[in-house]
Structure 1
Amino acid sequence: MWSRRLVLGVLLLPLALLVFGDGPVFRAPGAELATGPRPPRGLPQPAMVSRRDWHADEKLVREGPHYTGAARAVFIHHTGNPNDYDCADAPELIRAVQRDHIRQDGWDDIGYNFLVDRCGTIYEGRAGGVGRAVMGAHTKGFNADTVGIAAIGNFGPGVEVPKPMTDALVRLAAWKLRPGADPLGSVDLVSTNDESRFDEGQVARLHVLSGHRDSFETRCPGDALYALLPELRERAAKLRATVPGHSAAARLRPSF
């Protein structure tokens, strides 16, 4: 017969596994199980700087990540920072954005899923895993099934957008969009917030690769970067077209 101590240990083992195992996974209501964006086969994940390496303040984070469906659309933003920063200082700028989003805006974490600096370095944004469909807080009304990428800087009229930055935006958007999404096409998304350009419940037809201003009353991502979006769409589509067997790769005509 087992001793009382051994029996007690067996009974407590499941509890120990719950306590010391992975924490709970939060999912948005009705969201599909999000194990990853399943990018086009053969398209590699771009190199990026992790939250650990840019020293995200995890103590500020109010709640764990929520997951949604794989990305049907990408929204491009800019952060509004001066453009003459040293790229070595980008982590400090991102930490400031994180603090503002949590302390001033009241969000759980930094709103963007990813950020890109003027040297073309990609940074992990909101926690939850770069290869997973993490719901951000970047586009009121349209955070579900989308990805928010912020260009660090202020790209108003006449500002030159660095090529390394646009190169990184193309690689990241092409990789993160779900299979079948055409960067040159459009997508119908349902608004979840009256504060967007569309009433709650209204179906909005948006570019698969959109600027923040397409869904919200703002100048973001700046006139200069917004004017480059048609070029970024073309480049992202061509990059995805290099992947054999990708259904959207052959459609290089806009449906918008």
Structure 2
Amino acid sequence: MNLPQPSRRHVLLAGAGGLAAVALPGTAHALDAVEPDIDGTSRWTARPPRSPVELVGKRPTMIVVHHTVSVNSADVSRAQAHKHAHWVQDLHMDKNGWTDTGYHFLVSRGGWITEGRHQSLSTLRGGRDFVLGAHTSGQNGAGIGIANEGAYHDGAQPPRAQWEVLVTLCAYTCAQYGIAPSRIYGHKDFGDTLCPGVLHDKLPQLRSEVAASMG
């Protein structure tokens, strides 16, 4: 599969978001974290939630990584990222009966990020609160849920663009909320599931790259 060049992460590093110096609580110096390009719910024309989303009332203490077990599409376009976001929202609202998308953010195979549950983006930028999601039983009041488009439980590897933007999004989330990169987990750490597949094996690499990205 031919992925976009330069990679989405390199585009983000040079883009309008630039480098944002974010000071973590208890640190003497600010750390560099890239604010990635994230398409909010209005950008991808999400359905409104069935009921008002709830705020947790505090910062999250961890990130939980998922995969959506969707088709491993070769379409790396922004349009496909929006189509995938609709697919996930419809699944969660119509089949699961939830009020909205369960995840806070979705990372497409082409390296595009979409906001999942409404208000996830505005609260992330604020850095003081987060939306109560529906992604990890028993941990929804503690963790930000980031889901990756695709199915990675049968040995498939995430495309380079998806991986690099996942690193960027996790780094920005850690910086905004004061989360240590060591507190990036996979769904299967908290339940009997295969999710997030091979991405769980790659968590040590993810934590290391997020820490390096934050300076």
Deviation of residue 70 (structure 1)? 1.5
Q: Deviations over 1:62-85 (max 9, x none)?
A: 111211221210010011111124
Q: Partner residue of 2:60?
A: 71
- Of 87, 91, 106, the residue aligned with 1:96 is 87
Distance 1:39 1:152 in 2: 31
Deviation of residue 131 (structure 1)? 3.6
Unaligned residue ranges in structure 2 (runs of 5+): 1-21, 25-29, 124-129
Matched, 1:218 2:215: no
Residue 108 of structure 1 aligns to a residue whose secondary structure is: coil
Distance 1:156 1:92 in 2: 22
- Of 99, 102, 108, the residue aligned with 1:108 is 99
One-letter amino acid of the structure 1 residue matched with residue 199 of structure 2: L
* Count of residue pairs brought into register by the alignment: 178
Whether contact under 8 Å (1:71, 1:176) holds in the other structure is no
Q: Partner residue of 2:8?
A: none
Distance 1:179 1:39 in 2: 10
Distance 1:126 1:171 in 2: 20
- Of 72, 75, 87, the residue aligned with 1:83 is 72
Distance 2:135 2:95 in 1: 14
Change (3 A) 1:112 1:45: same
Q: Partner residue of 2:209?
A: 235
Matched, 1:163 2:160: yes
Distance 1:46 1:75 in 2: 18
Q: Partner residue of 2:14?
A: none
One-letter amino acid of the structure 1 residue matched with residue 50 of structure 2: R
Change (3 A) 1:39 1:217: farther
Structure with the larger RCO, 1 or 2 (CA within 8 Å, 6+ apart): 2
Q: Deviations over 1:214-255 (max 9, x none)?
A: 112110111x22111110000111122x2xxxxxxxxxxxxx
Distance 1:84 1:95 in 2: 15
Q: Which has the larger radius of gyration?
A: 1
Matched, 1:62 2:37: no
Unaligned residue ranges in structure 1 (runs of 5+): 1-37, 185-207, 243-256
Whether contact under 8 Å (1:39, 1:176) holds in the other structure is no
Deviation of residue 155 (structure 1)? 0.7
Distance 1:55 1:107 in 2: 18
Residue 148 of structure 1 aligns to a residue whose secondary structure is: strand
Whether contact under 8 Å (1:114, 1:125) holds in the other structure is yes
Whether contact under 8 Å (1:81, 1:152) holds in the other structure is yes
Q: Deviations over 1:189-218 (max 9, x none)?
A: xxxxxxxxxxxxxxxxxxx11111111211
Residue 52 of structure 1 aligns to a residue whose secondary structure is: coil
| TM-score in terms of structure 2 length | 0.77
Q: CA RMSD in A?
A: 1.7
Deviation of residue 92 (structure 1)? 1.6
Q: Partner residue of 2:42?
A: 52
The residue correspondences of 1:127-138 to structure 2 (distance < 5 A) are 127-132=118-123, 133-138=130-135
One-letter amino acid of the structure 2 residue matched with residue 233 of structure 1: R
One-letter amino acid of the structure 2 residue matched with residue 76 of structure 1: V
Q: Partner residue of 1:119?
A: 110
Residue 56 of structure 1 aligns to a residue whose secondary structure is: coil
One-letter amino acid of the structure 2 residue matched with residue 82 of structure 1: V
Residue 119 of structure 1 aligns to a residue whose secondary structure is: coil
Residue 118 of structure 1 aligns to a residue whose secondary structure is: coil
